Every structure is written in C-alpha cells, then in structure tokens.
Structure 1
C-alpha cells in the first residue's frame, strides 16, 4: 500500500474541474483550461507512477521482492483502477448508439476505444474531436505509458532510472519540434503519445532529482493557474503557445516536489479541504463520465434552462454519477483486489512456513 501524500487529491480536483469547466461552461472555452488540467494530471501521474516503480526496483535490488512480483502488482493495480469504468462507459456509449441515440460509433472508433489508441486516431485520422468520448485520449496515453514504463524502470538499476526520464523528455521535445517544423496538425502534438510521455517523465524526474525546499509550492501553483490566462491574453503564435503549454509542466513538477517537502503548509491544508479532497478522490470517474452523461443524453430538455445553467447542471450530474461509481463500482473493486492479493500472499507464505518446520 503506497503512503498517501496530502494535497494530491486536491490537485486532482483542480485538474478535473479545469477540464469540466472548458467542456461544460461556454466562457471557459477561450482559456484552454482543459488542456492545462490534463497536463496537471500527466505530470502528477508520472510523479506517482515512476516513484512507485523506482521504489519497487529498490525492493528488487535489496532482495525484498522480485521482478515478477512487482510487475504483476503494478499491472494488477492499473487494471483494477483504470479498466472497469472505462470499458463500462465504452459499452454504454456503444449500446446507446445501437438503440438510436448519439453518437453512433463507427468501427474505427470502437476499435480505438477497445485498444486504447484513440489518441493516435485523434492525432492523425479523425478530422474532428469526438464529443462524447474525446477525453478518452489521455487515458489511452496513460495506458501506453504503463506498457513500457513498468518494464523499463523495474529492469533499470535505481541509480540510472533518472536517465530514462531525461531520454523520454528529450524524445518528446524532439517529436514536438519536428512535428511543428513539418507543419503537422497541432492535434498531433497535443494528443501525441511521445510529447505527453515527456510530461509524465518530467514528473518522474522531479520525484527522483528535485532538491526540495518546501517554499515554492504556492507560487508554482499560482503561476500554473495563470498560464491559460496568459496564453489567451498574449495570444501567441502556435509555436510560442505550444512552448508555454508544454513548458508550464515544469511548474507542476516543482509544485509536486515542494508539496512533499512541506506537508504541513497552508497550501496543503487548503488542498485537503473536504470538498476538494472528495472531488479528487472521484476525479477519474468524473473525467470518464462527464462527456457522455448530462442533459444532452436526455434529448431536448426544458427550454426554461438557460445555456449558462445547463453547464452547471451537467457538472452536477457528472459529480453525482462519479460518486455512485466510486461507492458501488470502484471502491468495491479495489477492496476485491486487496482481498485477492491478501489470499495470494497467504497461499505463498503458508507452504514456506510448513517447509521450514
């Protein structure tokens, strides 16, 4: 069981609320809040996941664990946490389209969702951003990252692990620059696997190498939250805009390291406020469900609802669905995972104890 880091649920809440604001509130569209929210998720995910793999490699090196045990544990965690409500939502969207609702998924869309490659289709194949499942592209990138990162970090000696992060960041930057120079669509950079792997590696690098002082967390968060406004106000050309968009991930990396350095700070206490903490806990379900569940699912809803109110109602519906999902699907499945793991450990330990006698 990984020790919980105070403040991180609050950051998850901020990230998912930025995404919901852009997708549901008309005035927020011009600020690209959703993209910055997703980048906050990516750097945070890299910080935690690479940190977990780094510690697991230490256990392997000390003889306290094995590669097989750690790789099984890692993928088991990801499968129980990510797959159930992801594939449940894909099934619901497909079924709704089958009975005449919208959208009616095409074959390539179903394939991309089942294989978690929708970001590749969004980058190079589809002309438009799918509304009901468009946000799934970032889940696809996370899963693609897990496929290779677990093996790479568990097989690499701890002392050299940071070099993997530097290499992945360099590849991400190179890919972004080449894509821009070649005039490829901006979507190929925004939803591209390599560029976003770079953000996750940035989080991992901060976890391993940043010298923490505990005084920079609040300024880093404030500056990061100002970046969407700066980008909108400055209205830079695409190249400078992309540089700010991806480069601001450095602020998130600093923020995460500094929060760990001072777990008793005022910022951490604010991020631990119960409403933020709860939204952060259900943030994955909220992210998955918000594109499909809402007033539009019901067809033409009452005209007395103004457009500005409908977005707020949609957000409330999404939070309600995510809360139910957490209580009745996600939390029980995680408890089941823990029971399975406990039985497996007992089955392993008992024969050894008998043999020792």
Structure 2
C-alpha cells in the first residue's frame, strides 16, 4: 500500500447538527487540564483525610490520554510539512524544557545552602529517566523512595529542626511523556497512513495489558509495590495511544459515528469502570483506586484511560454541557498554567506542612492544603507570566501550518 502524498486533512463529511465546525483550539480541554491537575493535588494533600481523593492519581491518566490525543493530531496533520521533525521538537522544547530545566538549575545553584544529600543516581531525573530510578536501583540497600526526593543537608534541617525534602517523584509522568515524544513522531512520520497508524494503536492498546500481566506474574511483589506497572513507558503506552487512536478516528469516517454515539460511549466506559471497581474490591479485595501498587493495574489502567478518552470526546463537542462548563474562563486560565502547577505543587510539601503544624495547631491540615494550593498557583502563574509565556511566543517560528482539529 503506497504512502499518502497529499497533505493530510480532516475527513470531510456533511456537517450535521450533532457535529461541530473545525477549529484549531478546544477551550474545554484547558478546563479538563485544570480538573486533572486538581485531582493530582487532592491525591497528594487530601487523600490521607478523605479516602475518596485516593482516586486523584487518575488525573495523570487523564493527562496521558489528552497528550496522546493532541500530539497525535499535531503530528498527523503536519506529516508532509517541510522541517516537520525540527518544527515538532522545537515546539515541544519551548513548551516543556524551560520550566523543567529552570527547576534543575535552581537545584544546582542552591547547593551551597541546600547541601543536597543525594548521589549520582539523581541525574536520571534531568535526563527524563527518573521514572525508572526505583527499579534500576532496587537492589541497592536503603529506602527506594529516596529517589523521589532531594534531601536537604544539615544547615536547612537545623533551621527547621526536622528533615526537609524537595519532592520530585511526581515528575515521573513528565519523563514518560517525554520518552513518548521521542518515539511517536518517528512512527507517524515514517508510516503516515491513517489506517496503518490506527492498527498500530489498537495493537498496542491490546498488547500492553498483556505485558502488564506478564510482568505482574514474573517480577517480585516489591517491584509491583514500587509501581512498576504504573511508572514505565512500555506499561503505560496504551494510555497515550488510546488518545492517539481517538485523534486518528476523528480524522476519518469514524468521526460521524463517534459524534453520534459519544453519550453512549461515555456512559458505557464509566459504567464498566464502576463495575470493575466494585468487583475488584469485593472479589479480589484490592480496591481499584490502589491499582498503581497492586495487580489490578493490569486491567484498571486501560479502563480508566478509555473513560478518559470518552470524556475528551464529550468535552470537544461544543454543544455538550461538559464543554460549556470546562470552557469557563477561570478553569481555562487554570488549565493554561496547569503544567507549572503540576511541577511545583508537591516540591515544597514539607515546608507547607511545617508551617501548618508549627503555626496553626488543630487547623494544620486545612491550612497546609490551602497554603500549598495558593502558593503553587501563584508560583505557576509567575512562571507562566515571566518564563513560559514569553518563550512560547517563539513557537510560531517553527510551524508552517495552522493545526486544525477535526469535527467531532
């Protein structure tokens, strides 16, 4: 089968009232990012007090599916453009690297005061390989969670009278996405044909749960407890390619079917996930919300990701209630700074807890939560205003087309 030589375009169908006009930007997706990052925040700060927020980690899955959806669309739409590799990687670099490496530069220049008590293994994080640190060095004695934090030295600990850390473990998801960004453009730009790419997505989506099953059956329980199934690219590729498959389907004749049955798909995926959660708790005695650290992740991740894809399909439809709600200005603003909020929100967890416990006594928990949220939002806003935003203006220099999202 020969390669496509013409510039790929969204599949043209007669527009019905159920469909939406083509556009290059879905405002509701910014609101969805806001919801996802708040879910993660609640997991880190509130789940210890209210178990329902133990589901907050699924916000990362929502980010994965959304990233796969958007990146696949961008790559497919630009596959015949000149300098496509350069343009894609430069635009990704301008979006991701400045904030990420500004953080590591701050870590570097803080050494005289911070006196970090860590070794060379922590260099995996600046190389976007930190998500594997727990597993590569599990045979080394010591707390495996030490790779998820930078420990301050004696000077800072004397100031506060207790051990203090800079938490970096949540950056594992950025490592997974960056590894995906290195591989997926090669596949799309070399194979090109939409149907071939869809078959690859389906094959991966079916195969990855089998890979998780093989790993769960062969590795030690300690490896599962360390979230092997949750934190590596090979075991999470289905999340990214479920989003990718959705993007490819919306660029072909399947878009009409998806638009017509989007309510049914969302209801079915959420119902299936709820049934799986109930059965997992009652029969396996392993709550699905703990899938990151037990065997239920074999199937739970895929079910969560399918529900996330169905939600995205609903959000990009302009006539849906989800789209109208998530397009509210406040949510859109929060979504625009969600990357910074995600990076910053857990870094200073110990400091927020110290202030809450040191000055607020019985109200330590709500004060800690409020302080962490407010400070993280403020830092993220400043970061976007003075670091990320100015650099993002250069992205237009590395594009030769307006990315058009398809009708949904």
TM-score norm. by structure 1 comes to 0.82
RMSD across aligned positions (CA): 3.0
Deviation string 1:296-354 (CA, Å, 9 cap, x unpaired) is 1796664225123212211110011001111111110001333x448x99xxxxxxxxx
Q: Which moved more, 1:297-306 or 1:202-211?
A: 297-306
Q: Which moved more, 1:133-142 or 1:219-228?
A: 219-228
Question: What corresponds to 1:71 in structure 2?
Answer: 85
CA distance in 1, matches of 2:311, 2:301: 16
Question: What corresponds to 1:115 in structure 2?
Answer: 127
Question: What corresponds to 1:42 in structure 2?
Answer: 64
Question: 1:77-88 counterparts in 2 under 5 A?
Answer: 77-88=91-102
Q: Which moved more, 1:284-293 or 1:161-170?
A: 161-170
Structure 1 residues 327 and 227 mapped into 2: Cα distance closer, same or farther (>3 Å)?
farther
Q: Contact (CA 8 Å) 1:122, 1:191: kept in 2 or not?
A: no
Question: 1:140-219 counterparts in 2 under 5 A?
Answer: 140-159=175-194, 160-184=196-220, 185-186=223-224, 187-209=227-249, 211-212=257-258, 213=260, 214-216=262-264, 219=267
Q: Contact (CA 8 Å) 1:120, 1:191: kept in 2 or not?
A: yes
Alpha-carbon distance, 1:31 to partner: 4.3
Structure 1 residues 256 and 36 mapped into 2: Cα distance closer, same or farther (>3 Å)?
same
Structure 1 residues 227 and 99 mapped into 2: Cα distance closer, same or farther (>3 Å)?
farther
Q: Contact (CA 8 Å) 1:47, 1:206: kept in 2 or not?
A: yes
Alpha-carbon distance, 1:77 to partner: 1.1
TM-score norm. by structure 2 comes to 0.73
Gaps of 5+ in 2: 1-22, 139-143, 150-166, 288-293, 402-408
Structure 1 residues 240 and 122 mapped into 2: Cα distance closer, same or farther (>3 Å)?
same
Alpha-carbon distance, 1:88 to partner: 1.0
Question: What corresponds to 2:19 in structure 1?
Answer: none
Which of 35, 39, 43 aligns to 1:18? It is 39
Question: What corresponds to 1:8 in structure 2?
Answer: 29
Aligned pair count?
Answer: 331
Q: Which moved more, 1:162-171 or 1:193-202?
A: 162-171
CA distance in 1, matches of 2:108, 2:276: 34
Structure 1 residues 240 and 293 mapped into 2: Cα distance closer, same or farther (>3 Å)?
closer
Deviation string 1:269-308 (CA, Å, 9 cap, x unpaired) is 1111122111111010001111224561796664225123
Alpha-carbon distance, 1:28 to partner: 4.7
CA distance in 1, matches of 2:178, 2:277: 31
SS, match of residue 115 in structure 1: coil
Question: What corresponds to 1:56 in structure 2?
Answer: 78
Structure 1 residues 335 and 293 mapped into 2: Cα distance closer, same or farther (>3 Å)?
farther
Structure 1 residues 252 and 297 mapped into 2: Cα distance closer, same or farther (>3 Å)?
closer
Structure 1 residues 329 and 240 mapped into 2: Cα distance closer, same or farther (>3 Å)?
same
Question: What corresponds to 1:304 in structure 2?
Answer: 360
Higher percent of residues as helix: 1
